[in-house]
Amino acid sequence: MTPLSIATLRKNMNLSQAEFAQLFGAHFMTISKWERGIVAPSAYQEALLQQFERAVEAKQKQAAEEIKRLLVGAGVVAALAWLFTVK
């Protein structure tokens, strides 16, 4: 993962660098160094990052589908309300 993708992942998880670091048993400065490209995560940490990224993407997709269902449902309700008010 690139430094930018690590920072984006952390932000998408709504975690501070200190909170994110706890997931890896690392110091928050380590996360800062990852995000600035000074050091790279180990292979194990990289695998964890990729798992977190997949989980976040799945949650975002699920949220988008739920919003879509709500909007379609709201559209149906609005259409029905309009039909009942038309004389």
Query: From the CA atom positions of the chain, what is the Rg in Å?
Result: 21
Cα-based distances in Å from 5 to 37, 45, 73: 11, 14, 35
Quick one: pLDDT at residue 23?
94
Quick one: pLDDT at residue 75?
81
Q: How far apart are CA 9 and CA 4, in angstroms?
A: 9
9 within 8 A of 61, measured Cβ to Cβ = no
pTM above 0.85, yes or no: no
Quick one: pLDDT at residue 79?
74
Quick one: pLDDT at residue 67?
82
Quick one: pLDDT at residue 34?
98
Q: What are the residue ranges in the chain where pLDDT is below 50?
A: none
Fold of 3-85: 434 Repressor (Amino-terminal Domain) (1.10.260)
| Burial tier of 49 (Cβ tally within 10 Å: 0-12, 13-18, 19+) | buried
